[in-house]
A and B are shown apart, each in its own frame.
Chain A
Amino acid sequence: MRAKQLLVTLMALAFGRRRSRDPEQKAREEESPQGRIVPAGEPDRGAELLVVGLLALATLFAAGFIVVYGEMGPTKTLNTLLGVCIAGALACIAAALAVIARRLIVTEEIEEEYPEESPEEQREIVQLVHDSGSRFTRRKLLVGAAATAGSALGLAGLTPVLSLGPLWDTVPLEATPWYRGRRLVDPGGHPMLASDIEEETFYTAFPQGADPENIGSSLVVIRLAPSALKLPHGRETWAPYGILAFSRICTHAGCAIELYRKPRFQPVEPKPALVCPCHYSTFDPATGATVVYGPAGRPLPQLPVMIDPDGHLAAAGDFSGRVGPAWWGVRAKPS
């Protein structure tokens, strides 16, 4: 209702100020030697009113936005209303402009030449450069010297960027927090008892006292029947009682291996596998996490585990390979 009243007032204002024809405009036309630049068109009062109405509506929407903002609170999330208000204001002004473009402005199509090439100026520029350099005799030497100086300065300017990090350092890529005797702890920081590790499930483990966010820290620990293991040669002692530990970071693109599928009834269901949820690289834990599906190019690094005298799980050494996504030289054996 209020909106309607406001609209009427605005209309009255519009009518009140309307003049039959702008006398100044008339005067200018008479003065100008060429006459009009933009062709004349018929006035369209209906369109003018429509524009005023739309602008009034936009004003209301904008005011509504301020009101809604004021009404918002911790328990009142008026996101939708807020969005509708601001979008409404924008859309109304857009509509007003569209009406102006279609009905209140003469949209004439005019013609014009495309810009041409300028062969004369091209020639002059070339000549300008040649003429200016006529006193130089050892051009190649000068150009070479200038290029050298410029490159040196450029390099010098870039040098401080090196402080951002080591320029050529692959040591962090090879480092892991694991060493023989370091205990495995669960996400709560408690050492893990070997006797708690069961089959058909998976555990998250970290090195005791190390930064869990380090890419070489997190492990996925599972247990298989020792008879089912077909680990590569040299890993016979790496999985006591069938307890296997692998890096939790996929060797393809570095996502977390948080998927462990295990069959409830082996004869007819897929065999146990560790799966990455990003590109579905699938690793067979029984064979040392070799790739059985998906894009990964190498197995998950396996951490040899041992059971310390207290019955806790501990690392028996470092991983079988480099942790994380592959890079140039990733396969070199850890020294």
Chain B
Amino acid sequence: MSDRIADPVRFIDERTAAAPAIKKALRYLFPDHWSFLLGEIALYAFIVLIATGTYLALFFEPSVAKTVYHGSYAPLRGREMSEAYKSVLEISLTYKAGLLIRQTHHWAADVFMASIVLHLMRVFFTGAFRKPRELTYLIGLLLLFTSLLEGYLGYSLVDDLLSGIGLAIGYGVLLSLPFVGGPLGILIFGSTFPGKGVFESRMYIAHVFLIPALLATLIGLHLALVAARHHTQFRRDRRHTQRRLVGVPMFPGQAPRSLALLLIVAAVLFLLGGLVQINPIWQWGPFEPWLATNGAQPDWYLGWLIGALRLMPSFDVVVGHYTLIPNPFWGGVAFPLLVLFVLGAFPWIERRLTGDRSSHNLLDRPRDAPNRTAFGVAFLTWVFLVFVFGASDRVYVLFGLSYETLLTAFRVAIWVVPALAFLVVRRLCLQLQHADRIEERREEAEQEAEREHAERVRRREPVL
């Protein structure tokens, strides 16, 4: 007798002996809470990135050899430009569906980074990074920072005016590394910026192969570690404990939901790709090192770095004839590394400060750990204010708040506001805890009264 399900299952198991593993995977438990899906958004955006990126790679020409544009777009006709820029013009303006795929790819990158940040916030504020999940957390951070580089290389490949300016700043930041900066810049670019044409192919192989392969490996590790230790959970009722996990099995409960989310993410990204224009490179024109456009900005996820570069006061650390530390080092290298270090070391810092070395499968609500929550909000505020300052020139153009005034204000605010945020949030958490305790006591008292009432009814005593 043939069976459409049983036959393939038997076929696979007879040849791989995988039935026990498959059954275990199908019954893998997912604790049910909406915030556990934020990381999945990032994963699905990554899938969209791989799919659209592969398509784009078929048309992109990673060469800065000079050519002249004779295409349909009038404002660029007759302009000398690189093969790379021309091929992206063709993708955007000539090939059918090319613009949709390119815009979706770019939107997917922007949303990918945003969802990673949301996921990181969820993990941080619920204490999900604690033992036994520190490695998962560290790999997640590594994913975030590797993705920053991947995105930067992605838009830098295009060789339009905006990306060229971004690359020049990247070169400046690279050169600012103490001692090794200069020679390292020459090694990576093959010469001084913009290089002798070798850099484009290096960026290309890094963007389409090396870093995606690294990201995929890290994502695999991240998920494997999650699965090995299982998910954390909130304590919704008495069934949820440090030792017992309550969840919806992968099949049939979770699978359609996750698949739906994958498709929703793809739908939103393609909708953005169709409806909202992103990085219209034909409007920026080709890059030359002597050209500029006002208020050149990186993609949003590097906005905190331009903010930091702009906020730094003017100085190089100099001894005699030697520049020890050029200025861009502080905003472009030291600041992001400090953020990475603080986030990465946080599980161990918290362990040292609280003395809590035990394993945790139950999550905190943010209010349950007032110090952690307050510190997290303060730290986030600090980075966020630096980020916002990166857009202050546009704020000036749109709202008339003078850039110079904003610079002075932000130099103060980035220190004062996080300190205030810490105090306010800590107070708020303690208040919420207090309210919880009152609520708990009230509930206990009510239950007690009910029991007494029932007891009296049972004993036929007069009810008060």
A residues apposed to B, CB below 8 Å: 24, 38, 69, 72, 74, 77, 79-84, 86-88, 90-91, 93-95, 97-98, 100-101, 105-115, 164-170, 172-173, 175, 204, 206, 212-218, 248-250, 252-259, 276-281, 291, 293-298, 324-333
Specify which of A24, A79, A164, A327 is in contact with B185 (CB 8 Å cutoff): A327
In the complex the two chains form, is A83's CB within 8 Å of B326's CB? Answer: no
What are the residues of chain B within 8 A of A217 when measuring CB–CB? 290
What are the residues of chain B within 8 A of A215 when measuring CB–CB? 192-194, 289
In the complex the two chains form, is A84's CB within 8 Å of B275's CB? Answer: yes
Cα A98 to Cα B256 with chains together (Å): 7
Cα A23 to Cα B252 with chains together (Å): 21
In the complex the two chains form, is B260's CB within 8 Å of A170's CB? Answer: no
What are the residues of chain A within 8 A of B294 when measuring CB–CB? 259, 277
* Smallest Cβ-Cβ distance to A292: which chain B residue: B314
In the complex the two chains form, is B274's CB within 8 Å of A84's CB? Answer: yes
Cα A241 to Cα B291 with chains together (Å): 27
* CB<8 Å pairs between A and B, sample of 27: A24-B3, A82-B274, A83-B103, A83-B271, A90-B264, A91-B264, A94-B259, A94-B260, A94-B261, A101-B256, A105-B252, A105-B256, A109-B247, A110-B29, A113-B243, A113-B245, A167-B187, A172-B191, A172-B192, A252-B172, A253-B169, A253-B328, A255-B168, A277-B296, A293-B404, A325-B172, A330-B182
In the complex the two chains form, is A105's CB within 8 Å of B187's CB? Answer: no
In the complex the two chains form, is A91's CB within 8 Å of B274's CB? Answer: no
Q: Which of B183, B267, B290, B328 has the most CB of A within 10 A?
A: B290
What are the residues of chain B within 8 A of A249 when measuring CB–CB? 168, 289-290
In the complex the two chains form, is B314's CB within 8 Å of A295's CB? Answer: yes
In the complex the two chains form, is A90's CB within 8 Å of B267's CB? Answer: yes
Cα A330 to Cα B249 with chains together (Å): 62
What are the residues of chain A within 8 A of B244 when measuring CB–CB? 111-114
User: Does B313 sit within 8 A of A, measured CB to CB?
Assistant: yes
Shortest CB-to-CB span from B280 to chain A, Å, is 12
What are the residues of chain B within 8 A of A255 when measuring CB–CB? 165, 168-169, 292, 296
In the complex the two chains form, is B248's CB within 8 Å of A108's CB? Answer: yes
Specify which of A105, A218, A278, A291 is in contact with B290 (CB 8 Å cutoff): A218
In the complex the two chains form, is B190's CB within 8 Å of A326's CB? Answer: no
Q: Mark B229-257, 1 if CB is under 8 A from A, else 0.
A: 11000000001001111111100110011
Chain B residues 190 to 232 lying within 8 A of chain A, measured CB to CB, are 190-194, 198, 202, 228-230
In the complex the two chains form, is A165's CB within 8 Å of B187's CB? Answer: yes
What are the residues of chain A within 8 A of B293 when measuring CB–CB? 277
Specify which of B173, B253, B289 is in contact with A256 (CB 8 Å cutoff): B289
Specify which of A79, A107, A296, A330 is in contact with B314 (CB 8 Å cutoff): A296
